[in-house]
Structures are given as C-alpha cells and as structure tokens.
C-alpha cells in the first residue's frame, strides 16, 4: 500500500496517486508564493507601485513611527521585501534572506499588535503568518527545486 510520503497511509488509498506526483512541488510552491507575495509590498515602499508611497513616503512614515534612521530603514525593509522576495521565490541565498524577511515581518507584527489579531482591522494576523512562513523557510532552506540546491551550496 502506498504512503503519503511521511510514513502514513491515506484514509482513502486512491488519494496516494494524487499526492505522490505533487509532493515534490509542495515546498517550492510555499517558497515561491511567500517570496512573490512579498515583492509587491517592497515595490510599494521602494517605487510607489501598486498604490504605494514610494521611498520618500515610506521614509517619512517610518520616521513618524520612530524607526530611525528612517533614511536607512525604509530602503532596507523595501529591499528585503522586493529583492529578498525574488530571491526566496527562486531559492537563492534562501535561508539568509528568509531570516531577514522574518525579522522585518516580526517587527511588522509589533506595529500591528495594538490593533488586535484580524488583518481587516489593521491587526497582526497577516504579518504573523508571513513571519511564520519566512521563519520556516529560513529553517528548511530552498529545498529540491531551488538555485541553492542546483549550485550545491546554501547559507
């Protein structure tokens, strides 16, 4: 009898035929989605795309929130989200970049904490989910379908 890949058997045995071919794609899907979802947020901060405030607006906003020196913090955060998101998606320098993103997102959690849990009320839900995803990627690395694996080196 076929297993699901983690040593267990599915309740409905025929499902192992479905799970088997897609199992190798599960981690790259998580990694790529996480990275690519970060990119537009960085683009908002750096370039003003997608309705963002651009670097000047982001710098002013960071200064207002007390993240000083804002002239350094704003491009750093935007760069981690934009360029780091791309690197996470392709799996290059995955652990280091995902760790940096997890730190940035953990700070975002603290910013949204006073608003409660739910994101639709300005809460920390979304930032917390991303923090957890990036932390998991930092621990696990790029995986099988990554540039890190292709070159045989990872951080």
Per-residue pLDDT of the chain (155 residues; tens, 9 = 90+): 455 556 778 888 888 888 888 889 999 999 999 999 999 999 999 999 999 999 999 999 999 999 999 999 999 999 999 999 999 999 999 999 999 999 999 999 999 999 999 999 999 999 999 999 999 999 999 999 999 999 998 87
Domain positions in the chain are: 35-144
Q: What pLDDT is stored for residue 57 in this prediction? A: 97
Of 77, 67, 93, residue with least CA distance to 42: 77
pLDDT at 79: 98
- Confidence at residue 136, expressed as pLDDT on a 0 to 100 scale: 98
What confidence score (pLDDT) does residue 1 get? 46
Quickly list DSSP for 75-104: HHHHHHHHHHHHHHHHTSSHHHHHHHHHHH
Gap between the Cα atoms of 100 and 120, Å rounded: 26
pLDDT of residue 128: 97
> What's the CA gap between 27 and 32, in Å, rounded?
8
H-helix segments, the chain: 15-47, 54-65, 70-90, 94-112, 125-140, 147-151
pLDDT at 8: 78
Q: What is the pLDDT of residue 9?
A: 80
């Amino acid at each position: 009898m076929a297993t699901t890949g983690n040593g267990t058997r599915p309740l409905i045995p025929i499902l192992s035929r479905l799970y088997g071919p897609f199992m190798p794609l599960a981690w790259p899907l998580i990694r790529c989605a996480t990275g690519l979802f970060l990119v537009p947020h960085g683009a908002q901060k750096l370039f003003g795309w997608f309705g963002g405030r651009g670097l000047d607006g982001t710098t002013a906003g960071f200064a207002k929130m007390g993240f000083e020196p804002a002239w350094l913090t704003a491009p750093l955060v935007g760069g981690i989200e934009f360029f780091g998101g791309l690197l996470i998606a392709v799996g290059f320098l995955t652990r280091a970049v995902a760790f940096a993103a997890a730190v940035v997102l953990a700070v975002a959690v603290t910013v949204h904490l006073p608003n409660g849990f739910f994101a639709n009320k300005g809460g920390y839900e979304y930032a917390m989910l991303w923090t957890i995803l990036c932390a998991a990627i930092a621990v696990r690395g790029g995986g099988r379908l990554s540039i890190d694996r292709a070159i045989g080196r990872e951080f």
